[in-house]
């Protein structure tokens, strides 16, 4: 993981209407396939193409940080063949797309619990992060084997261990300390979270970080998501009044 200063540098300079961080819950692959009489695996494969389109669209829009929810810690309950297929897609995406992402100035980071990942997947993740660590045009965070509650539990354990060792006083554990112990430490909280597929929930995604995020829900299934949909969401974000609990100032 790069330094605090490096993260802050990558977070600056967004042209997307003040957006520093867009996060997307990529939902609807299975239903997209089922409605076409195709196996669910074909929906997941089409979803990878949507990832490529969306990364390109985010680069064009000047988004500084893009987080994609690709595999939930709850997804282990799916049929083993589907889980293995999803792992295979991650392997393929890193092997086929890493060079292009690096060339385009994309820094790749993976958030989530790595303890249960197969060794080759963990190795590919380390390779992708090391190769792209100095890129600053776009930070692409892939939430893989990720669950927000698990992330918060792991952060609490880190802080508890520091307190046990005397590295921090319990009274020093505040919102800043918790944020700094999360997988997204030193990365701006999402300004906007988009969920595709027509569902209206966060599904254990960035629960701490989403406190003041603007939420955009679209019925479009993820495999059909493209630059036009991302730009429409950015335009929608531009119409929102973000008050952070404060009263909006009276117009002059």
Neighbours of 84 (CB within 10 A): 12
Percent of the chain surpassing pLDDT 70: 89
Per residue in 222-252, pLDDT (tens digit) is 999 999 999 999 999 999 887 766 766 655 5
Q: How far apart are CA 72 and CA 147, in angstroms?
A: 6
Higher-confidence position of 158 and 80: 158
Q: How far apart are CA 217 and CA 233, in angstroms?
A: 9
**Do 195 and 236 contact (CB within 8 A), yes or no?**
no
Per residue in 88-102, pLDDT (tens digit) is 988 999 999 999 999
Tokens 């190795």 — which residue? 123
Q: How far apart are CA 15 and CA 63, in angstroms?
A: 7
Please determine, for residue 200, whether its predicted confidence score (pLDDT) is greater than 70: yes
Using only C-alpha atoms, what is the Rg of the chain?
A: 18
Is the CA virtual torsion 28, 34, 37, 41 positive or negative?
A: positive
Q: How far apart are CA 168 and CA 107, in angstroms?
A: 32
Please determine, for residue 3, whether its predicted confidence score (pLDDT) is greater than 80: no
- Catalytic residue numbers? 27, 75
Tokens 């890193």 — which residue? 94
pLDDT of residue 76: 85
pTM of the entire predicted model: 0.89
Q: How far apart are CA 47 and CA 28, in angstroms?
A: 9
CATH 3.40.1180.10 fits 9-238, yes or no: yes
Exposure string of 33-50, with b = 16+ CB inside 10 Å and e = fewer, is beeeeeebbbbbbbbbeb
Q: How far apart are CA 234 and CA 216, in angstroms?
A: 9
Helix, strand, coil: what percent of the chain each, to 5? 50, 15, 35
**Do 242 and 189 contact (CB within 8 A), yes or no?**
no
Confidence band (pLDDT; 50, 70, 90) for 1?
very low
**Do 67 and 141 contact (CB within 8 A), yes or no?**
yes
Q: How far apart are CA 234 and CA 238, in angstroms?
A: 6
């Amino acid at each position: 993981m790069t330094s605090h200063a490096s993260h802050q540098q990558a977070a600056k300079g967004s042209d997307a209407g003040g957006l520093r961080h867009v996060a997307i819950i990529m939902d609807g692959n299975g239903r997209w396939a089922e409605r076409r009489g195709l196996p669910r695996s074909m929906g997941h494969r089409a979803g990878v193409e949507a990832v490529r389109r969306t990364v390109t669209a985010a680069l064009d829009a000047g988004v500084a940080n893009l987080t994609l929810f690709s595999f939930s810690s709850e997804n282990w309950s799916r049929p083993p063949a589907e889980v293995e297929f999803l792992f295979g897609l991650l392997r393929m995406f890193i092997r086929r797309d890493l060079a292009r992402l690096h060339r385009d100035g994309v820094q790749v980071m993976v958030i989530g619990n790595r303890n249960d990942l197969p060794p080759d997947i963990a190795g590919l993740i380390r390779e992708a992060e090391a190769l792209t660590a100095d890129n600053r045009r776009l930070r692409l965070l892939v939430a893989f084997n990720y669950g927000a509650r698990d992330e918060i539990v792991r952060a609490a354990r880190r802080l508890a261990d520091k307190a046990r060792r005397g590295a921090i006083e319990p009274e020093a554990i505040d919102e800043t300390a918790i944020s700094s112990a999360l997988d997204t430490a030193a990365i701006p909280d999402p300004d906007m979270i988009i969920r595709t597929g027509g569902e209206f929930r966060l599904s254990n995604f960035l629960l701490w970080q989403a406190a003041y995020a603007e939420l955009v829900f679209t019925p479009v299934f993820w495999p059909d998501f493209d630059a036009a949909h991302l730009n429409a969401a950015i335009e929608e974000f531009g119409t929102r009044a973000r008050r952070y609990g404060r009263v909006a100032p009276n117009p002059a």
